[in-house]
Amino acid sequence: MNLHEYQGKSILTKYGVPIQNGYAADTVEEAMTKYDQLAKETGSPFAVVKAQIHAGGRGKGGGVKLAKNREEAKTHISNILGMQLKTPQTPGGMEGEGKQVNKILVAEDAYAPDFDANKEYYVSILMDRERKQNVIIHSTQGGMDIEAVAEETPDLVHKTYIDPELGMQGFNAREVAFNLGLEGTAFKNMTKFISKLYQAYLAADASLIEINPCLHTGDDRIIAVDCKFSVDDNALYRHKDIAEMRDTTEEDATEVEAQSYGLNFVNLDGNVGCMVNGAGLAMATMDIIKLSGGEPANFLDVGGTADAARVEQAFRIILRDDNVEAILINIFGGIVRCDRVAQGVVDAYKNIGDIKVPIIVRLQGTNADIAKDLIDNSGLNVRSAISLQDAAQEVQAVLA
């Protein structure tokens, strides 16, 4: 689960990680109140207005603006709140439709007073799948696209691995600070920053914390200016407070709905819908659709209990997509009996009534033959298949 910048920063604050301070708001009035409060606290009229959406590169689309006074702050706040923000990471990129901004963060200008005295670093923590350890990735090349830095100047990207059983040790934090070329007060502050950041990472079951830029101020403080924060979905059961931070408006509405029915669904752009039990088989079924001349309209894993109610919900969700020209149902019955699923398909079909797109049902495994008879004798516009090859040919025939 992804968090907004302001939410991630609230977790960082809880663990003592210094951040660029600020307040989140949903309306212009609220934002202005926050601006006034912030100006009072910092003693400066300067503030940064930051769009809160789940995508990076917000500055490129005009979603991050520096205000030098109250009037400018009001202008930026009014412009950014409600705008369709396009960034390289929003759907369709800079040419796409962007994402609506429903929340903004009014934050202090952490670069003041002497802009040129600041340095920007890159720091992130994540789990390295190959090493099976958490790793702190860091670089002096902050404020930039780290993938580009890694490509062009790989020796400027450093990695510090943390022992899974011992946790972060003093020398790990010092290694990071040395790699960033720090000394004196900044060195000490960076080692504290890294230790606390790692604490927050573990405590929140984060899958990623990325601080870019991580600011080294003229007076040697180390501050998280931006914060990308993702949490392991499997661990949310032990973080009720973080689970409540979920912003479903950032997700695909259909996917959110599917999830509430226990369906694992990902919306795609193709013309053939599919309904499958098991994630691996679902991906393989999408591949079959492509090889048969179609494009998958979705990924859908109905899970281990593909009963009539779930099949019906799945049908309804797939059918909502006007681009769908055919639906391929692919169930490998193990513990799930195919005849039950077939009955579910027939019942769902009758309940929904008018289904215009052809449906190909491929049921294999436990009671597959009984299931095929059930489908074939149902009198519905459903084609049945037993082998995966047959199913592929049926898809091809339907699209032809």
Torsion, Cα 279 283 289 293, to 10 degrees, reads 170
Beta carbon of residue 17, minimum distance to another protein (angstroms, whole number):
18
28 or 284, CB closer to another protein? Answer: 284
Active-site residue, selected from the candidate residues 5, 108, 210, 312: 210
Nearest residue (CB) to another protein, 110 versus 318: 318
- Is 336 labeled as ligand-binding? yes
Tokens of 365: 């495994």
**Residue 251 is a catalytic residue:** no
Residue 238 identity (one-letter amino acid): R
Catalytic entry in 6, 122, 198, 349: 122
Q: How far is the CB of 194 from another protein (least distance, A)?
A: 18
CA 57 to chain centre: 15
Is 202 near another protein (CB under 8 A)?
Answer: yes
- Considering only residues 161 to 190 of the shown chain, the ones binding another protein according to CB under 8 A are 163-165
State yes or no: 22 annotated in a binding site: no
| Binding range to another protein, per CB under 8 A, among 11-19, 96-104, 274-282, 376-384 | 274-282
* Residue 156 binds another protein (CB under 8 A): no
Whether residue 338 contacts residue 368, with contact meaning beta carbons closer than 8 Å, is answered with yes
Q: According to CB under 8 A, which one of 335, 354, 377, 400 is a site residue for another protein?
A: 335
59 is in an annotated binding site: yes
In whole angstroms, give the CA distance from residue 255 to residue 54.
16
Is residue 141 within 8 Å of residue 122, measured between CB atoms? yes
Which lies closer to another protein via its Cβ, residue 134 or residue 384? 134
The count of residues in the chain is 400
Of 130, 155, 244, 354, the one binding another protein (CB under 8 A) is 130
Q: Within positions 47 to 106, which residues make up the interface with another protein, using CB under 8 A?
A: none
Both tokens of 122, joined, read: 């890159």
User: With respect to another protein, which residue has the nearer C-beta, 179 or 298?
Assistant: 298
- Shortest Å, Cβ 292 to another protein: 9
How far is 113 from 99, CA to CA, in rounded Å?
A: 33
CA 203/CA 17 separation, integer angstroms: 13
Quick note: the x/- pattern for another protein over 354-393, rule CB under 8 A, is ----------xxx--------------------xxx-xx-
Structure tokens at 307: 């009963």
Q: Per rule CB under 8 A, is residue 207 in the interface with another protein? A: yes
CA R_g for the chain: 26
What is the CA 181 to chain-centroid distance, rounded? 33
Distances (CA, A) of 345 to 108, 263, 265, 277, 361: 57, 16, 18, 14, 9
- Count residues binding another protein (CB under 8 A): 53
User: Which residue in 62, 87, 74 sits closest to 35, CA to CA?
Assistant: 74
Instruction: Kindly write down the DSSP assignment for every residue of 187-231, as one continuous string.
Output: HHHHHHHHHHHHHHHHHTTEEEEEEEEEEE-TTS-EEE-S-EEEE
210 catalytic? Reply is yes
- Tell me if 64 is assigned to a ligand binding site: no
C-alpha closest to that of 21 among 54, 53, 44: 44
Residues that bind another protein (CB under 8 A): 127, 129-130, 132-134, 163-165, 202, 205, 207, 232-235, 237-238, 264, 266, 268, 270, 276-284, 286-291, 295-296, 299, 301, 332-335, 364-366, 387-389, 391-392
Q: Which residues are annotated as a binding site for ATP?
A: 50, 57-59, 110, 120
Catalytically annotated residues? 122, 210
Q: Which residues are annotated as a binding site for Mg(2+)?
A: 212, 226
